[in-house]
Structure 1
Amino acid sequence: MAHMPVAERRTRLLSAAFEVISRSGVSGATTRAIVDEAGMKLASFHYAFESREELLAQLVDVVVETQEVVLDIPADGGGGLSDLLERGLLSYFAQVRANPWRERAMFELTQYALRTPSMAGVAERQYERYRALAEASLHEAAARTGCVWRLPVSELAADLVALTDGITLAWLADGDDERASRTIAFAARAIAAEGASAPVPASASVPPSHREGRTA
């Protein structure tokens, strides 16, 4: 253990911290609990991190950076835009149901970061990443269905992130799958109706400047 590279120590401690937070919350993720989970000595912690807050800030960044999508667009792309968005959200929700502990941990870490001066900017970076992922998904959904977004995709992406947060948090609170599914259907219809114009015929030529943004 004494010769373990610092990068490996950090990775091991970050993984252990997430496990502890998933079970016991941020308040239970003491430095002692983290090193015990990692099977390391307390002194090893300070070779890798200056403080517990530094570890927690990096933990948020690492977990968020490993997330690949907010809206899991189906590969087949069949159906209209609203249908595609709904299926993408249902796929996302299936991941939430499979790993509720991960979602609880991330919500708690976000709240902790917002209350902790030394973690300033962590939650902001987290949501910038979420919105970027949502924007990429919306571009893909439009391309798959031949639709054109009338509103700026960045605005729609922010709406989508807010909706997925609400759906996730409500489900964590009540565990009601049917209610979550109804809300997902509503969210898909709302995004599609608010932001997209009719599909563009395959033969039509759409100037790049008109593929996004508000129409007159």
Structure 2
Amino acid sequence: MVYVEASVRRPQMITAARRAMARDGVAKTSMRSVAAEAGVPLGTLQYAFRSKEQLLRAVIEDVVDEITRVLRQSAEGEAGLANAIRSGIQSFWSTLVAGGTDLQTMQYELTTYALRASGQEGLARWQYERYASVVAEWCQHAAHVAGETCTIPFGRLARLIVATVDGLIIQYVCDPNPSRSAEDLDAAIAMLVAAAGVRPAAAPRGSS
């Protein structure tokens, strides 16, 4: 067998896990099936990920990284927080939702699997904490660069964004309707921008 560096092998195994989970479902995907999908011995997979929970965490982190890349590529920070919310959500939707629902279905299965599996409840909490953390950092960066702030904490704004988009995704997964979803997404973005209450940051004392 050709030797492959662990730094290369690990992402390959995570990608294989995502494929297997999207195809077979999270609950039915085993360490053995992921090893077969990746074309590696089971022992190699277990060396990198000692348990299914560790593998699931790696899959969630990989999805979070993908979302982060989409948000960072969606808009220039100098355009302000309102524009970041609008362009970021639209880019996320067109890139990770409208093109196919397998990824989103897998994410929901990850959540329900963790909530139902004994001792795994913390994984579901961590999953949504990571989603909200990425969105909060993205919003805060856009506001800071543009010299803005918002009327609610960035953490709360992020949770509202995640919850709102999450609900629209569930509806789209159950009943894909591009035109209706586009209208609903526009309305949701307008509500989120209004909730943010974007305003110029206060000038430092003594500045003119």
**TM over 0.5: same fold?**
yes
Q: TM (normalized to structure 2)?
A: 0.78
Letter in 1 for 2:188: A
Letter in 2 for 1:170: Q
CA pair 33-78 structure 1, distance change in 2 beyond 3 A: same
Q: CA deviation at 1:85?
A: 3.2
**Aligned residue in 2 for 1:178:** 179
**Aligned residue in 1 for 2:132:** 131
Within 2, Cα distance between the matches of 1:79 and 1:26?
38
Within 1, Cα distance between the matches of 2:81 and 2:159?
22
With 57-66 and 153-162 compared, the bigger mean Cα shift is at: 57-66
Structure 1 residue 91 corresponds to structure 2 residue 91: yes
Q: CA deviation at 1:165?
A: 0.8
**Aligned residue in 2 for 1:19:** 19
CA pair 32-78 structure 1, distance change in 2 beyond 3 A: closer
Within 1, Cα distance between the matches of 2:105 and 2:134?
20
Specify every segment of 5 or more residues in structure 1 that has no aligned partner in the other structure, as ranges: 210-216
Within 2, Cα distance between the matches of 1:179 and 1:158?
24
Q: CA deviation at 1:160?
A: 0.7
Q: Percent identity?
A: 28
CA pair 168-208 structure 1, distance change in 2 beyond 3 A: farther
Matches within 5 A, 1:31-42: 31-42=31-42
Secondary structure, in 3 states, of the residue corresponding to 2:139? helix
Within 2, Cα distance between the matches of 1:139 and 1:187?
20
Deviations along 1:161-180, one digit per CA (max 9) or x if unpaired, are 10111122211111111221
Q: CA deviation at 1:42?
A: 3.2
CA pair 196-69 structure 1, distance change in 2 beyond 3 A: farther
Matches within 5 A, 1:112-131: 112-131=113-132
**Aligned residue in 1 for 2:53:** 53
**Aligned residue in 2 for 1:206:** 202
Secondary structure, in 3 states, of the residue corresponding to 1:97? coil
Q: CA deviation at 1:47?
A: 3.1
Bigger-Rg structure (1/2): 1
**Aligned residue in 2 for 1:154:** 155
Deviations along 1:180-212, one digit per CA (max 9) or x if unpaired, are 112212222212222315x54xxxx72469xxx
Secondary structure, in 3 states, of the residue corresponding to 1:98? coil
RMSD (Å) for aligned C-alpha atoms: 3.2
Within 2, Cα distance between the matches of 1:176 and 1:18?
25
Q: TM (normalized to structure 1)?
A: 0.75
Checking the alignment, whether the CA contact within 8 Å between 2:115 and 2:121 is kept in structure 1 is yes
With 63-72 and 114-123 compared, the bigger mean Cα shift is at: 63-72
CA pair 79-127 structure 1, distance change in 2 beyond 3 A: closer
Within 2, Cα distance between the matches of 1:49 and 1:76?
37
Letter in 1 for 2:88: G
CA pair 151-70 structure 1, distance change in 2 beyond 3 A: farther
Q: CA deviation at 1:99?
A: 4.5
> How many equivalent residue pairs?
203
CA pair 47-175 structure 1, distance change in 2 beyond 3 A: same
With 49-58 and 124-133 compared, the bigger mean Cα shift is at: 49-58
